[in-house]
């Protein structure tokens, strides 16, 4: 059984990793399963000799790892982003288990780049980081002891991804190109500024309106042309030059 092309479409994103050994162990886990895209968001120590030692031969994965300043930058070009989290989140995106994640992978890698995002060792991902992703995913663990080392979690995800993509009988559906992460984020900013301009969104009492809208559009999986239609509609109602930069943004300030 040969491996279906698709593993090269998956990037592993590690956010604010504090222990360099975990980065090296993650690189080793990735290489053993045929994944090579590693993106590090503000790692505390990297490059680092401990990362190299723990990589145990996966030095090429470390050498090609990209270091970026934000999760938004790490997700650029992705059409599907999955936040790995052990905690249920109130009023958040769709929550799935790892088996459902891997069941969706064959179709998702046919449509574009997939990012699987892991948080810091102590506290995982923030709510704001989860908001940038399409779905939340967890690995079922013992309820009384659910803490899983981040490198171990990456090993499980990489193994499941490899197994999912080794199956050859996944028919690919004809579908228009999905909008990449940065294109959707620009639409969110445009939408928020239009809502501020029309006073539909009160900057002094924003509530969770922007979070609810992100949740709605994440479920829709916006295509490139759909984003263009939505932004054209916003421009028709409130021309962009009247909104962008003219109102106080709550998109970041509203995150916790």
Integer Cα distance of 93 and 90 in angstroms? 9
Spell out the domain ranges in the chain: 7-165, 181-242
Superfamily of the domain at 7-165: SPOUT methyltransferase, trefoil knot domain (3.40.1280.10)
Query: What pLDDT was estimated at residue 167?
Result: 62
Token pair for residue 118? 């892991």
Q: What is the pLDDT of residue 176?
A: 83
Phi, psi angles (nearest 5°) of residue 175: -150, 145
- The model carries a pTM of 0.78
Helical spans, DSSP H, in the chain: 20-32, 49-55, 59-64, 71-74, 98-111, 127-131, 150-165, 181-197, 209-220, 224-237
Task: Tell me if 84 sits within 8 A of 117, measured CB to CB.
Answer: yes
Q: Specify the CATH architecture of the domain 181-242.
A: Orthogonal Bundle (1.10)
Pairing of strands 135-138, 94-97: parallel
Q: Which pLDDT does position 143 carry in this prediction?
A: 81
The confidence score (pLDDT) of residue 86 equals 83
Along the chain (256 residues), what's the average pLDDT of each consecutive run of 10 residues? 72 97 97 97 96 96 97 97 83 84 94 96 92 93 84 96 76 74 93 92 90 89 92 85 51 42
């Amino acid at each position: 059984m040969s491996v279906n092309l698709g593993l090269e479409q998956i990037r592993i994103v590690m956010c604010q990793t504090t222990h360099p050994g975990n980065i090296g162990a993650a690189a080793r886990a990735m290489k053993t399963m045929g994944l090579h895209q590693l993106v590090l968001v503000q790692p505390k120590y990297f490059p680092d000799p401990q990362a190299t030692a723990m990589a145990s031969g996966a030095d090429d994965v470390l050498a090609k790892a990209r270091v970026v300043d934000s999760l938004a930058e790490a997700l650029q070009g992705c059409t599907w982003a999955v936040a790995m989290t052990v905690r249920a989140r109130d009023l958040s995106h769709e929550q799935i288990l790892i088996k459902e994640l891997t069941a969706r992978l064959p179709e998702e890698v046919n449509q574009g780049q997939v990012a699987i995002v892991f948080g810091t060792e102590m506290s995982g991902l923030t709510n704001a980081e989860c908001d940038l992703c399409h779905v939340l995913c967890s690995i079922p663990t013992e309820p009384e002891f659910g803490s899983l080392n981040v490198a171990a979690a990456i090993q499980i995800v990489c193994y499941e991804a490899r197994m999912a993509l080794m199956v050859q009988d996944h028919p690919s559906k004809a579908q228009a190109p999905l909008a990449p992460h940065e294109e959707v984020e620009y639409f969110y900013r445009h939408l928020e500024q239009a809502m501020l301009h029309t006073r539909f969104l009160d900057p002094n009492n924003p509530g969770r309106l922007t979070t609810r809208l992100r949740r709605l559009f994440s479920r829709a999986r916006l295509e490139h042309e759909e984003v263009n239609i939505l932004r054209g509609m916003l421009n028709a109602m409130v021309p962009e030059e009247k909104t962008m930069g003219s109102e106080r943004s709550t998109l970041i300030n509203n995150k916790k």
